[in-house]
A and B are shown apart, each in its own frame.
Chain A
Amino acid sequence: MFTPKVAALTAVIALASAGAFAEGPNLGKPVSSGDIASWDISIMPDGTGLPPGSGTPAQGARIYAERCAACHGEKGEGRPPAYSRLVGGGPISSVNAAEKTIANFYPYATTVFDFIRRAMPWAQPRSLTNDEVYSVVAYIFAENKLIGESDVMNAQTLPKVHMPNRNGFVARFPERM
């Protein structure tokens, strides 16, 4: 049996160690935004985070032919399911994800820029300059008739591109967000 005195002492020790745990070992090293910059590539749907630079569909056509067409096809027709279709795609007629395209599904233009910049080309990710990414995105958007043939894509114009399926979504569990 514990005496009341021992029990009280145990409680004090327990509190003390809980306090030490809540503090944590403090081993995280402070880091400046400058030191994070090369990793901080997140882009928000409103365009926050888009880098400087710009590109046109004509510039993008050349880069697309060199860096993208081998997998995604000469005209962006793709080879689904592994190499997605980048151009075209009619109205979605079934629940099959194979029908999803940039033209008929993506709600935000920024997503296309973000994914190409972080992940493409598959074998040499992040080998395109920001100007080249803007150009390729401009080419893909123009081929999809989402922008005009000579529209320039940059941090100001890209987030304003109207994506036809922008309002095609419902949150599954809104209470979790």
Chain B
Amino acid sequence: MQRPPRSQSQRELDKVEAAAGNGLLDRRAFLRGGAAMAVAVTGYATAKSAAAETLKDESWSLEPGGVSQPYEKRSRFEEKVNRTLSNPNGEPRTQHARTPHQLLNGTITPNGLHFTINHGGLPDIDPDKHRLVIHGLVKQPLVFTLDSLSRYPMVSRMTFVECGGNSAPMFSPQPIQASVQAIHGLASCAEWTGVRVSTLLDETGIDPKAKWVIAEGADSPLLSRSFPLSKGLDDAMVALYQNGERLMPGNGYPMRLLLPGWEGNMNVKFLRRLKLVDQPAMSMYESRTYAQLLPDGKAYQFYFLQEVKSFITHPSLGMAMQGPGLYEISGVAYSGNGRIARVMVSADGGKTWAQAALQEPVLSKSFTRFRAPWRWDGGPAVLQSRAWDEAGNVQPTRAEFVARRGETKAVPNVLAFPNQHFNSITSWAIDGKGEVKHVYA
């Protein structure tokens, strides 16, 4: 078959230098290529644009549109962008709702799509009757209402929250063919606004014997976790707002504990009690659920930290490539240790790597969007991303990770949590037909 003649923009693109094998281009190519690059980028799932189309007015341009709503809903064409639910009928067990990373972009998770895990359903809390009590090893126990907390000096910060069990399907000895939502959907990122825990402890005073804090929610299981007082005096917050509005019910309305960078379960929702103590309570979630079995039979205790991680969202399993051409590889990176320092991307299963562009602002303990231009030649490729944080930690390969932490003997249910704190590289393989599969590479 004869190839069509190459356009001026395609000839310009050909000059952009390769940054790594199998078509990865320099991360600055989009800037340098300018309009030529913009025209040439191909979408993942949308139909190819017709070569020539006579433009005409559609019906919505020929009459006034609908009425504004007090609380706006998204376009009816976006109604399929949803969280996936592990327990849609509310059976008497935990409910998980996973964020559809493959259908989002940027770094902020919309409130209706932020992941949630609730162990006792969603409590219907009347904010006027909700109370937060701070007691134990303090000089003066105090009780706060939502109204009174709303008058304290507030802080806002972007931060991700990630379930300790996020990415658990990758403990499987075989790669489970599941979307990025199913594998990594228990992490989200929002701007949280509230009162620093240290501000409230200034008011109660602290007995020098206090070393830990027990946090407890007002949900039916009164979910309870212990955290070191040092974290409480560092960047812990009683969050009242999520992306500018009051917290969503699933995220702890009317107030939640926020421990930036630490295991999701510790960010106790529906927060009603902080008790200062001299030792951890060894609650069920800290002594059983969030203690991770190790290959030698011991178990980690008090992992707390969500370590450096990244994954590619575009393309990812479930998307189809639309023929050879220029694509943008994109994904999110984050670390509980601070800022993301660098993300490298590979198109040949980790043999060669190109540096991805990081979207500014790069914020501590927040999602950082990375992007890398890639010319897919239509042949097989294995896409990977690997992140470094400012503390110098690097995301391990899967082989490195399971050598230390182990993997399950059999393939687990994709919804199960055989183990936790999995942060290795994710690999998406693209075959000659443009289909994306999950592989271990």
Contact = CB atoms under 8 A, between A and B. Distances in A.
Contact of A96 (B133, B275, B293, B298): B293
Contacts of A95: 171, 292-295, 405-408, 418-419
B143 interface: yes
Contacts of B281: 42-45, 114
Interface stretch (B44-52, B145-153, B342-350): B145-153
A156 B203 CA distance: 36
A173 B302 contact: yes
Contact of A21 (B120, B148, B153, B231): B153
Contacts of A31: 133, 135, 141-143
Given A42-B277, A44-B277, A94-B409, A111 B418 contact: no
A71 B93 CA distance: 10
A118 interface: yes
Interface stretch (B97-105, B219-227, B318-326, B351-359): B219-227
B148 A30 contact: no
Contacts of B171: 95-96
A25 B293 contact: no
Contact of B275 (A24, A40, A107): A40
B95 to A, nearest CB: 11
A101 B71 CA distance: 47
Interface in A1-44: 21-22, 24-33, 35-36, 39-44
A95 B171 CA distance: 9
B143 A29 contact: yes
B248 interface: no
Nearest to A125: B220
Contacts of A24: 152-153, 199, 202-203
Interface string B128-156: 00000111000011111000110111000
A169 B408 contact: no
Given A27-B151, A45-B282, A99-B293, A172 B142 contact: no
A115 B135 contact: no
A172 B301 contact: yes
SS of A interface (majority)? loop
Contacts of B275: 40, 42
B440 interface: no
A161 interface: no
Contact of B200 (A28, A29, A119, A171): A28
B27 interface: no
Which of the listed residues A28, A169, A176 has the most CB atoms from chain B within 10 Å of its own CB? A28
Contacts of B305: 172-173, 176
Contact of A118 (B221, B230, B299): B221
A100 interface: yes
A134 interface: no
A36 B231 CA distance: 24
Nearest to B303: A172
Nearest to A32: B141
Given A27-B144, A96-B408, A170-B298, A119 B92 contact: no
Interface string B286-327: 011101111101111111110000000000000000000000
Contacts of A22: 202
Interface in B149-178: 149, 151-153, 171
B97 to A, nearest CB: 16
Contact of B298 (A25, A91, A114, A169): A169
A83 B283 contact: no
A92 B295 CA distance: 10
Contacts of B269: none
A125 to B, nearest CB: 5
A139 interface: no
B293 A108 contact: no
Contacts of A82: 91-94
Given A33-B141, A97-B417, A173 B304 contact: yes
A169 B294 CA distance: 10
Given A25-B151, A170-B301, A92 B273 contact: no
Which of the listed residues A30, A125, A169 has the most CB atoms from chain B within 10 Å of its own CB? A169
A138 to B, nearest CB: 18
A175 to B, nearest CB: 10
A36 B133 CA distance: 8
B74 to A, nearest CB: 33
A115 B283 contact: yes
Interface in A52-96: 71, 81-83, 91-92, 94-96
Contact of B134 (A28, A32, A42, A171): A28
A91 B408 CA distance: 16
A110 to B, nearest CB: 7
B224 A42 contact: yes
Interface string B189-232: 00000000001101110000000001010001110100010110
19 contacts: A26-B203, A27-B144, A27-B152, A33-B135, A36-B135, A44-B279, A82-B92, A98-B416, A98-B418, A107-B282, A107-B287, A111-B282, A118-B221, A118-B222, A119-B119, A169-B301, A170-B299, A171-B301, A172-B300
The 9 closest A-B pairs by CB, nearest first: A28-B142, A119-B221, A27-B148, A82-B93, A95-B406, A115-B284, A169-B301, A172-B303, A172-B300
